């Protein structure tokens, strides 16, 4: 992975791709104020440097029958590094878990879990999550609705001053 120092154009490219990953290279270059070939080179350099981790479609879970989203706070019996890694490895095998974050504090992990319905989540909870080695307790919070879903991070771009 090569090191890239981000300039205004790189930040603009990152912001625009984060907002619309399907944007054509020609449109991306136009917005960044450069031609298409150097824009494509910059995008590839940003990928190589790890700033761009990938591209994906934002799928509506309800459209595919996943009507329930639950945030599960998981506490483990042991926080030894090997036990933490073992839990993370297990979680990575469960497709219903869409996000897994290790936390500092009372809760060791926060999982975002999708399920077809509440019964589907209960089956996952009792047959997989609470049955997993080293799991001491799980607190489940059912998401009622999503008021904001904005992936990525804020990217500030210094706009050029017009003369």
pLDDT digits (tens, 9 = 90+) for 103-138: 999 999 999 999 999 999 999 999 999 999 999 999
pLDDT digits (tens, 9 = 90+) for 17-62: 999 999 999 999 999 999 999 999 999 999 999 999 999 999 999 9
Q: How confident is the model at residue 158 (pLDDT cuts 50, 70, 90)?
A: confident
Determine contact, residues 49/3, Cβ cutoff 8 Å.
yes
**Residue 136 pLDDT:** 98
State whether the Cα torsion 129-117-111-141 is positive or negative: negative
Determine contact, residues 42/13, Cβ cutoff 8 Å.
yes
| Angle value at C-alpha 99, between 94 and 103, nearest 5 degrees | 115
Give me the domains of the chain, ranges plus CATH numbers: 8-48 (1.10.10.10), 62-142 (3.30.70.920)
Q: Over range 8-24, report the average pLDDT.
A: 96
d(CA 27, CA 32): 9
Residue 73 neighbours by CB under 8 Å, 6+ apart: 107, 109, 110, 138, 139, 140, 141
d(CA 51, CA 118): 37
* DSSP annotation of 71: E
Dump the DSSP string for 77-115: S---HHHHHHHHHHHTT-TTEEEEEE-SSS-SEEEEEEE
Q: Over range 153-161, report the average pLDDT.
A: 82
């Amino acid at each position: 992975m090569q090191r890239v120092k981000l300039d205004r154009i790189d930040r603009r490219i990152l912001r625009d791709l984060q907002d619309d990953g399907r944007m054509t290279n020609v449109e991306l270059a136009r917005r960044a104020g450069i031609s298409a070939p150097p824009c494509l080179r910059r995008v590839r350099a940003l990928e190589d440097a790890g700033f761009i981790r990938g591209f994906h479609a934002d799928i509506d879970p309800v459209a595919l029958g996943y009507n329930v989203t639950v945030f599960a706070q998981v506490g483990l019996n042991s926080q030894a590094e090997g036990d933490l890694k073992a839990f993370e490895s297990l979680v990575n095998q469960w497709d219903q878990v869409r996000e897994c974050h290790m936390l500092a504090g009372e809760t060791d992990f926060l999982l975002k879990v999708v399920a077809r319905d509440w019964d589907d989540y209960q089956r996952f909870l009792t047959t997989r999550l609470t049955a997993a080695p080293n799991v001491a307790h799980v607190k489940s919070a059912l998401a009622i609705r999503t008021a904001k879903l904005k992936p990525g991070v804020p990217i500030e771009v210094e706009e050029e001053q017009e003369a």
